[in-house]
Amino acid sequence: MTITILSLHSYPVKSCAGLDHSRIGLSEAGVSLDRQWVIVDRQGVFMTQRQYARMALIQPGVGGGALTLDAPGMPALALVPAADSPEPPPVSVRIWGSDTLGLDEGDTAAQWLSQFLGAPCRLLRVHPRAQRMASRDHVNAWRRKHKDWAPEFPAQHQFGFADGFPFLVASQDSLDELNRQLRAKGQAAVPMNRFRPNIVLQGLDAYEEDYLASMRIGAMEFAFVKRCARCPIPNIDQATAVSAPEPGLTLAAHRRFAEGVLFGVNAVVAGAHAGAVLSVGDQAVANFDI
């Protein structure tokens, strides 16, 4: 069995549109600039497509570390990086049950986003002093289970504003099976962008990723520490921001487990040293839980 990377994706602003890549750098924090910005409401609570489906229509761009935003009916917005400061003032941010720090991107970005979303909000970037770690419980459970062949796998994995882990990995074969089930019901197939993965694999059987312990790509070892329970966002068409009952109903009928309705797996990585990259077509060596 040959497992390869089919596609690579980043989402610079949490819950906004994604970017496709043929090649991308990465670190323990995820693929380059993934979820490095977040939109928060007046109370400082993070905003997502769950409540504001129009976020899907906000298209970010990144060049030289600077962010641009575009959206229907809005002038393009280019954020000028703030002048270097040894200690920019931090803003407290809570992502689900995890507290971290953000750096406010200023009034111009706030006004642009508030106008488009129809709600007061502000844009924050990951603060240089932020120290947000992936779930120690999940990582340590994985380390205990696989201590015989991965005794040196690190316990701490810092990342940005993603929900809970730096990487989300999905399988094209699993999406193909879901689409087969949708078409059998007379429903339209859905694209992978509904599930917002970073890494899409091909070469696995449908949902075989559930049983992956890890995969090695070059010197990097990806540990699959948690299957991903899905919220309603896959029901939102990422091109139109229109929500519908599918594919959620079909997925729930076939993929409901104690942890929730599952699609994809969350991962952390070891060995992603300076200059590490992933490319479409890279082969992965898989280790399965037995």
Q: Is 109 exposed, middle or buried (0-12, 13-18, 19+ CB in 10 A)?
A: buried
Q: What is the pLDDT of residue 84?
A: 56
* Banded pLDDT at 215 (limits 50, 70, 90): very high
* Banded pLDDT at 74 (limits 50, 70, 90): very high
Amino acid at residue number 16:
C
User: In the chain, which residue ranges form alpha helices assigned H by DSSP?
Assistant: 107-117, 136-145, 172-184, 248-254
The length of the chain is 290
* Banded pLDDT at 190 (limits 50, 70, 90): very high
What distance separates the 2 farthest-apart alpha carbons in the chain? Answer: 58
Structural domain count of the chain: 1
pLDDT digits (tens, 9 = 90+) for 9-44: 999 999 999 999 999 999 999 999 999 999 999 988
39-43, 97-101, 258-262, 269-273: which range is least confident on average?
Answer: 97-101
Pairing of strands 212-217, 220-229: antiparallel
CA distances from 186 to 182, 237, 242, 246, 253 (A): 6, 18, 19, 11, 15
pLDDT digits (tens, 9 = 90+) for 223-245: 999 999 999 999 999 999 999 99
Q: What is the pLDDT of residue 274?
A: 87
pTM for the full predicted model: 0.95
Q: Which residues pair with 257 in a beta bridge?
A: 260
Q: What is the pLDDT of residue 87?
A: 64
Q: Which helix (H) or strand (E) holds 101?
A: strand 98-104
Output 87 or 105, whichever has higher pLDDT.
105
Full domain range(s) for residue 171: 3-80+88-288
C-alpha closest to that of 143 among 133, 158, 153, 157: 153
Q: Report whether pLDDT(209) > 70.
A: yes
pLDDT digits (tens, 9 = 90+) for 130-164: 999 999 999 999 999 998 888 899 999 999 999 99
- Average pLDDT over the chain, rounded to whole? 94
Give the span between the Cα atoms of 89 and 264, in whole angstroms: 36
- Contacts with 83 (C-beta within 8 Å, 6 or more apart), sequence order: none
Q: What is the pLDDT of residue 81?
A: 64
Give the span between the Cα atoms of 223 and 166, in whole angstroms: 11
* Banded pLDDT at 265 (limits 50, 70, 90): very high
Q: What is the pLDDT of residue 168?
A: 98
Give the span between the Cα atoms of 209 and 84, in whole angstroms: 43
Other residues' Cβ atoms within 10 Å of the Cβ of residue 226: 21
pLDDT digits (tens, 9 = 90+) for 59-70: 999 987 789 999
Tokens for 261, please give them: 């309705």
Q: What is the pLDDT of residue 86?
A: 59
CA dihedral defined by 202, 207, 210, 216, rounded to 10 degrees?
-10
CATH number of the structural domain spanning residue 62? 2.40.33.20
